[in-house]
Amino acid sequence: MSHELRTPLNSMLILAKLLSEGEENLTHKQREFARTIYSSGSDLLELINEILDLSKIESGMMEVEVGRVLFNDLSEYVERTFRQVGHDKGLEFQVHADSQLAPGIYTDQRRLQQVLKNLLSNAFKFTERGRVSINILPATSGWSPDNKTLSAAESVVAFSVTDTGIGISPDKRAIIFEPFQQADGTITRRYGGTGLGLSISREIATLLGGEIQLDSRVGEGSTFTLYLPATYQPDVMKRKIHAGAQVQHFTPPVREIEPEVSLIMENVIDDDRAHLEDGDRTLLIIEDDQKFAKIMMEMARERGFKVIVAMRGDSGLALARQYTPSAITLDIELPGMDGWSVLDRLKHTKATRHIPVQIISVTEERQRGLKMGAMAYENKPVSPEALREALGKIEQFVQRGVKSLLVIEDDKTAQQSIIELIGEGDVETVAVGTAEEAMSELRNKHYDCVVLDLGLPDMNGFDLMENIKREIGNIPIIIYTGKDLSPKEETELRRLAETIIVKDVRSLERLLDETALFLHRVEENLPEPKRQMLEQLRKKDPVLAGKKVLIIDDDMRNIFALTSLLERYDMQVLYAENGKDGIDTLKNTPSIDVALVDIMMPEMDGYEAMRQIREMEEFKQTPLIALTAKAMKGDREKCIEAGASDYITKPADSEQLLSLLRVWLFK
Amino acid sequence: MSRTDASSAVIDRRYSEKNQMLATSLHSQTLEEIELELLLEGIYRHYGFDFRNYALSSLRRRVWNFVRDQHVGSISLLQDRVLHDRTWLDRFLYALSVNVSAMFRDPHFYRVFRKDVVPLLKTYPFIRIWLAGVSMGEEVYSLAILLQEEGIYDRCRIYATDINDAVLKKAKEGIYPSELMQTYTNNYIKSGGTRSFSDYYTYCTGADDNVVLKPSLRDNVVFAQHNLASDASFNEFHVILCRNVMIYFNSELQAHVHHLLHSSLVMFGVLGLGAKETLKFSPHEYSYEEIDDAARLYRRVV
């Protein structure tokens, strides 16, 4: 429903702003009208947002996102938001946090800010002279006795907003919390605002486990105090569930089949698809709101883009494939195929996956969009400034398009051929011949990818890679080498490099493909670094910490993944790539606590390896967990018969594997 | 109506709808179809082998061939034997898993492999190849010969898998009837073989009926049992050949296998399918680009 409400407003606001500020020949009066339209529209938008909020809360649909909120951040936020207002009105503005306070509170930051903003906003609105202040302090009383949550809470924080304004008489105190009511009993907007703020604030306070108290004297001023428990308790909170509220089920959108060619012909807006030339910067706008699409089209044309417009998801996808535009703006709520499906398809098709996509939509799913590979995310309604900024970003991106590649190769001829091959068009290639020059380049400039020859004069390739990872961080490295590599060397290299290319007749082509993959991947999310995960937290688990685990598996992906997982729990990980090497490692390394054994391996498979291990006296009791891709009935029994203590199927669920390890390592 | 009344009314209605559907389907199935379904269901539940998503027509043909060869009266009688006697199951599985093949079958495929795929492989320091569904092993040895002749065999590790252990054992032996050698030799030559085919086999001692392929062809080959329908990815490969295996699967199983193959292939790795197989309409249609469509060789790009 919010889509239907916000979308028409969106266009109206932007157009009004453009009219009032633009360069067209308007009379003073006409500009005045435009400004009025804009401000009425803004008011309407504010009202809609608040009504939607209120209805969400009342129907029990408002979600609470709990997190740590620091008082320092909060203080900064209110300062920032109201400093100017206070200055303009000639009022003193004070922000104070008590020294006895803990550093923060555990609650929904956004909602808390919303309430404080409302209280402060009212304070400034109804005060002509004097001071507005907000005081944050620990509280042991002040709230109503029948508020069980606050009374039972370990500690309570009070946010007191005091003003020297007109004040509220006792008999009016209840009314002001009612929707649309003001103290003078009228609903006229003498002081501006929607009249909903306090109702919403009260609901939010309840939602977060607290309440708002009011103390006031007519002619002297008011103090509104928000009391909140220091730690939000979800199960203690009483949610108001509207009788008969419908629980909405989210049904994922059905994947559409390929659009028919006829859809491509659909061309309601007069866009530029008929006049495209080579070298044009094209923007594809996928947006079902015709007016908004037109606005964006004009703006984009102003910046020198040629524009194609699609009003349905499926035609948008088809046009993207047909015209491969320089950039795409994408709405989520579309007929034909929803924006998520379109984004998914775009990012999973070779021809279109590198095109930067900017999402402009009413839905608030920024994280999801970015995770799926969108370049940026704007929420509607979007102001003209924001829109210009978004287009500017796109423009910059498309222009910059230049990615930078560092080639570390001492052979001049090879350098030349690589530069010529890859350095075409949008890749800026720099070549150096020694490790020292390479490190210097990487320290001074940003590179998107590195091509590295192993045979450098001043340092061997392995060492250089270690240096790069340590000093520069995670940058994709492609090894390009004429050297013969042993299996052990290959495995070592693969820990640090993305891929290895052996110099041969077709190797330059492969080099081109692999570098293209990494240079474009930078636009989507960076691949997860091999030995690091996004959460750097080291987990403490006494049963696992310090234990030695041997992984016997020839699937490198598994070894990397398991090593990352287990090292996070402070385990020491060794590996071997086949049964024979596994047994050797087991014999030669003291006190291995547990072994994970793959079944399908060359030289000696897992069954045979486990049988042989069990024949050795010293390893009769060592826990052996079979890791197998085989999931048929009877496979488990086979593993156990061969000597496995337990068994887990690939792909191994992390939690399940950790449980198994805990079971077998518990002494 | 209260909410619980409403929902139970819905459930009642659905239940009776389902009953109706069941009733109709029961009437439209032939007795043979029923027997076949029961046989496969029984084998799955008792032994774990899942043939329920195999393509009906080829499966039916094979089952009937087996029933006739073994002089069993009906599919139901076969079910009795198979469920109560493991040796019957093994024989039955064997009959279902043996796929007629030949060395250097589809010479065009091997030509293109030599010309277009091998040069790509030469850019990798080590090459892992998965041959899925090798049956009696003809493809394994053909590929081994090709790789040896192209000088990259030493860098390769070939994983040859099949659903059936007994069949794999035969593949490992590398013994073939000598009367087939003429055909094989012709195929070999058409595939661009650079030596003499007879360099690769010797006659079995004592009899002229069989030949055995040179053991050195097996040096870098791992034979392992793997079930495409139920097992997961067990490694990452630069080449995966799954030829003339999926024609025996229905489209649901085919999609499942395509997914398994895609997730086991490195980026820019090569996928090879059989002459009657296709990527079209599979979920990974756009994940590959063509190396040579007639040879059914594709390269993963997404």
Q: Which amino acid is at A605?
A: D
pLDDT value at residue A630: 87
Q: Averaged over A230-256, what is the pLDDT?
A: 43
Confirm whether B66 is domain-assigned: yes
Domain region containing B67: 47-97
Any chain A CB within 8 A of the CB of B49? Answer: yes
Rounded distance, CA B82 to CA B88, Å?
5
Do the beta carbons of residue A9 and residue A362 sit within 8 Å? no
Q: From residue B204, how far is each of B175, B184, B213 by CA, in Å?
A: 8, 17, 10
CB A630 to CB B120 under 8 A?
no
Do the beta carbons of residue A564 and residue A530 sit within 8 Å? yes
Confirm whether B257 is domain-assigned: yes
Query: What single-letter DSSP state applies at residue A170?
Result: G
pLDDT band at A236 (very low <50, low <70, confident <90, very high): very low
Q: Which of A89-112 are b and which e, b meaning 16 or more Cβ less than 10 Å from the residue's Cβ?
A: eebebebebeeeeeebbebbbebb
Rounded distance, CA A519 to CA A498, Å?
12
B76 CB contacts (<8 Å, ≥6 apart)?
B35, B38, B39
Q: Averaged over A610-624, what is the pLDDT?
A: 93
**Residue A421, pLDDT above cutoff 90:** no
- Looking at the structure, do residues B71 and B127 belong to the same domain, yes or no? no
SS (H, E, C) A370-408: HHCCCCEEEECCCCHHHHHHHHHHHHHHHHHCCEEEEEE
**Residue A284, pLDDT above cutoff 90:** yes
Do the beta carbons of residue A575 and residue A604 sit within 8 Å? no
Angle of helix A606-615 versus helix A579-588 axis, rounded to 10: 30
- Looking at the structure, do residues B153 and B261 belong to the same domain, yes or no? yes
For residue range B18-47, list pLDDT tens digits in order.
555 555 555 567 888 899 999 999 999 898
Do the beta carbons of residue A18 and residue A384 sit within 8 Å? yes
Do the beta carbons of residue B135 and residue B98 sit within 8 Å? yes
Q: Averaged over B1-26, what is the pLDDT?
A: 50
- Looking at the structure, do residues B179 and B202 belong to the same domain, yes or no? yes
Rounded distance, CA B196 to CA B189, Å?
8
pLDDT value at residue A247: 33
pLDDT band at A494 (very low <50, low <70, confident <90, very high): confident
Per-domain boundaries in chain A: 2-58, 69-229, 261-400, 403-521, 548-665
Which of B32, B67, B97 terminates a domain? The answer is B97
pLDDT value at residue A13: 77
What is the architecture, at CATH level 2, of domain A261-400? Answer: 3-Layer(aba) Sandwich (3.40)
Confirm whether B233 is domain-assigned: yes
Any chain A CB within 8 A of the CB of B154? Answer: no
Among A164-173, A325-334, B185-194, B232-241, where is mean pLDDT lowest?
A164-173
Rounded distance, CA B14 to CA B32, Å?
30
A554 CB contacts (<8 Å, ≥6 apart)?
A577, A578, A598, A600, A601, A602, B235
Do the beta carbons of residue B257 and residue B246 sit within 8 Å? yes
Q: Averaged over B211-221, what is the pLDDT?
A: 94
Any chain A CB within 8 A of the CB of B286? Answer: yes
pLDDT value at residue A195: 67
A306 token code pair = 């040629």
List residues in chain A touching B: CB distance below 8 A.
Answer: 348-350, 353, 484-485, 487, 490, 500-507, 510, 513-514, 517, 554-557, 598-602, 605, 628-634, 649-651
Question: From the list B125, B157, B226, which residue is nearest A500 (CB)?
Answer: B125
- Looking at the structure, do residues B173 and B252 belong to the same domain, yes or no? yes
- Looking at the structure, do residues B88 and B208 belong to the same domain, yes or no? no
Preferred mutation among A353, A451, A488, A554 to probe B, highest tally of B CBs within 10 A: A554
Q: From residue A277, how far is each of A265, A274, A394, B9 by CA, in Å?
A: 19, 9, 20, 63
pLDDT value at residue B85: 94
**Residue A95, pLDDT above cutoff 90:** yes
Question: From the list B47, B120, B225, which residue is nearest A510 (CB)?
Answer: B120
Give the minimum alpha-carbon distance from A365 to chain B in angstroms, rounded to a whole number.
26
For residue A428, the surrounding DSSP H or E stretch is strand A427-432
Preferred mutation among B152, B164, B235 to probe A, highest tally of A CBs within 10 A: B235
Rounded distance, CA B235 to CA A553, Å?
9
Give the minimum alpha-carbon distance from B182 to chain A in angstroms, rounded to a whole number.
33
For residue range B90-102, list pLDDT tens digits in order.
999 888 887 878 9
Question: From the list A487, A513, A630, which residue is nearest B226 (CB)?
Answer: A630
Domains A69-229 and A261-400 share a fold: no
Residue position matching structure tokens 């028409």: A8
CATH number, domain A548-665, options 3.90.180.10, 3.40.640.10, 3.40.50.2300, 2.60.40.10: 3.40.50.2300
A371 token code pair = 């995770």
pLDDT band at B75 (very low <50, low <70, confident <90, very high): very high
pLDDT value at residue B23: 52
Query: What single-letter DSSP state applies at residue A104?
Result: E
Mean of the per-residue pLDDT values of chain B: 88
Preferred mutation among A451, A506, A530, A607 to probe B, highest tally of B CBs within 10 A: A506
pLDDT value at residue B199: 93
Q: Among residues A454, A284, A436, which one has the least CA distance to residue A352? A: A284
pLDDT value at residue B196: 93
- Looking at the structure, do residues B117 and B163 belong to the same domain, yes or no? yes
pLDDT band at A21 (very low <50, low <70, confident <90, very high): confident
Domain A403-521 classification at class level: alpha beta
- Looking at the structure, do residues B57 and B154 belong to the same domain, yes or no? no
Count of structural domains within chain B: 2
Q: Which residues of B touch A353 (CB under 8 A)?
A: 302
- Looking at the structure, do residues B83 and B119 belong to the same domain, yes or no? no
High-pLDDT (> 90) share of chain A, %: 22
Mean of the per-residue pLDDT values of chain A: 80
C-alpha B168, offset from chain centre = 12
Quickly count: other Cβ atoms within 10 Å of residue B281's Cβ: 9
- Looking at the structure, do residues B181 and B260 belong to the same domain, yes or no? yes
C-alpha torsion A54→A58→A61→A65, nearest 10: 70
Q: Among residues B145, B131, B158, which one has the least CA distance to residue B220? A: B158
A497 burial (CB, 10 Å; 0-12 / 13-18 / 19+) is buried
CB B126 to CB A487 under 8 A?
yes
CB A651 to CB B234 under 8 A?
no
Do the beta carbons of residue A549 and residue A576 sit within 8 Å? no
Rounded distance, CA A238 to CA B211, Å?
82
Preferred mutation among B161, B164, B231, B302 to probe A, highest tally of A CBs within 10 A: B231
Residue position matching structure tokens 């435009």: A34
Preferred mutation among A504, A508, A513, A647 to probe B, highest tally of B CBs within 10 A: A504
Return the number of CB contacts < 8 Å for A and B: 97
Rounded distance, CA A464 to CA A478, Å?
13
pLDDT band at A54 (very low <50, low <70, confident <90, very high): confident
pLDDT band at A135 (very low <50, low <70, confident <90, very high): very high
pLDDT value at residue A11: 74
Rounded distance, CA A228 to CA A108, Å?
11
- Looking at the structure, do residues B228 and B275 belong to the same domain, yes or no? yes
Any chain A CB within 8 A of the CB of B1? Answer: no
B47 token code pair = 């032994």
**Residue B61, pLDDT above cutoff 50:** yes
Q: Which of A64-88 are b and which e, b meaning 16 or more Cβ less than 10 Å from the residue's Cβ?
A: beeeebebeebeebbeeebeebbee
Do the beta carbons of residue B234 and residue B265 sit within 8 Å? no
Q: Among residues A433, A437, A456, which one has the least CA distance to residue A445? A: A437
**Residue A261, pLDDT above cutoff 80:** no
For residue B291, the surrounding DSSP H or E stretch is strand B288-292
**Residue A234, pLDDT above cutoff 70:** no
A333 burial (CB, 10 Å; 0-12 / 13-18 / 19+) is middle
Do the beta carbons of residue B239 and residue B298 sit within 8 Å? no
Q: Averaged over B146-164, what is the pLDDT?
A: 94
pLDDT value at residue A371: 61
SS (H, E, C) B97-121: HCCCCCCCCCHHHHHHHHHHHHHHH
Q: Averaged over A101-130, what is the pLDDT?
A: 89
Give the minimum alpha-carbon distance from A664 to chain B in angstroms, rounded to a whole number.
24
pLDDT band at A1 (very low <50, low <70, confident <90, very high): low
Q: A230 forms bridges with which residues in the sheet?
A: none
**Residue B2, pLDDT above cutoff 90:** no
**Residue B208, pLDDT above cutoff 80:** no
Return left, alpha or beta for B172; rule: phi > 0 is left, psi -120 to 50 is alpha, else beta.
alpha
Q: Averaged over A368-373, what is the pLDDT?
A: 66
pLDDT band at A251 (very low <50, low <70, confident <90, very high): very low
Cα torsion angle, B186, B190, B191, B193, sign: positive
Q: Which amino acid is at A298?
A: E
The Cβ-side half-sphere exposure at A385, using a 13 Å CA radius, reads 1
Confirm whether B21 is domain-assigned: no
Annotate B167-212 with DSSP letters as a single string: HHHHHHHTEEEGGGHHHHHHHHHHTT--S-GGGGEEEPTT-SSEEE
Question: From the list A349, A353, A507, which residue is nearest B123 (CB)?
Answer: A507
CB A504 to CB B268 under 8 A?
no
pLDDT value at residue B111: 96
**Residue B202, pLDDT above cutoff 70:** yes
Long-range contacts of A88-95 (CB under 8 A, 24+ apart): A89/A124, A89/A127, A89/A128, A90/A129, A91/A124, A91/A127, A91/A129, A91/A130, A91/A131, A91/A132, A92/A130, A92/A131, A92/A132, A92/A133, A93/A131, A93/A132, A93/A133, A94/A131, A94/A132, A94/A133, A94/A134, A95/A133, A95/A134
Q: Which residues of B touch A502 (CB under 8 A)?
A: 122-125
Q: Averaged over A402-426, what is the pLDDT?
A: 78
CB A602 to CB B157 under 8 A?
yes
pLDDT band at A181 (very low <50, low <70, confident <90, very high): low
- Looking at the structure, do residues B132 and B255 belong to the same domain, yes or no? yes
pLDDT band at A550 (very low <50, low <70, confident <90, very high): very high
A87 token code pair = 């200055």
A320 CB contacts (<8 Å, ≥6 apart)?
A284, A328, A346, A352, A355
Do the beta carbons of residue B273 and residue B243 sit within 8 Å? yes
Question: From the list B50, B234, B268, which residue is nearest A555 (CB)?
Answer: B234
Q: Averaged over A197-205, what is the pLDDT?
A: 87
Angle of helix A635-642 versus helix A606-615 axis, rounded to 10: 30
pLDDT band at A472 (very low <50, low <70, confident <90, very high): confident
Among A404-413, A488-497, B174-183, where is mean pLDDT lowest?
A488-497
Residue A132, helix vs strand vs coil: strand
Q: Which of B211-242 are b and which e, b meaning 16 or more Cβ less than 10 Å from the residue's Cβ?
A: bebbeebbebbbbbbbbbbbbbbbbbbbbbbb
For residue range B258-274, list pLDDT tens digits in order.
999 999 999 999 999 99
Give the minimum alpha-carbon distance from A278 to chain B in angstroms, rounded to a whole number.
25
A69-229 homologous superfamily: Histidine kinase-like ATPase, C-terminal domain (3.30.565.10)
Question: From the list B126, B236, B286, which residue is nearest A349 (CB)?
Answer: B286
CB A507 to CB B49 under 8 A?
no
pLDDT band at A196 (very low <50, low <70, confident <90, very high): confident
Rounded distance, CA A569 to CA A525, Å?
26
For residue range B218-254, list pLDDT tens digits in order.
999 999 999 999 888 999 999 999 999 999 998 889 9
Question: From the list A349, A507, A555, which residue is nearest B235 (CB)?
Answer: A555
Comparing A155 with A403, the larger pLDDT belongs to A155
Q: Which amino acid is at B160?
A: A
A171 CB contacts (<8 Å, ≥6 apart)?
none
**Residue A368, pLDDT above cutoff 70:** no
Largest CA distance in chain B: 87
Angle of helix A384-400 versus helix A2-21 axis, rounded to 10: 90
**Residue A90, pLDDT above cutoff 70:** yes
A271 token code pair = 């866009």
Q: What CATH number is given to the structural domain containing B259?
A: 3.40.50.150
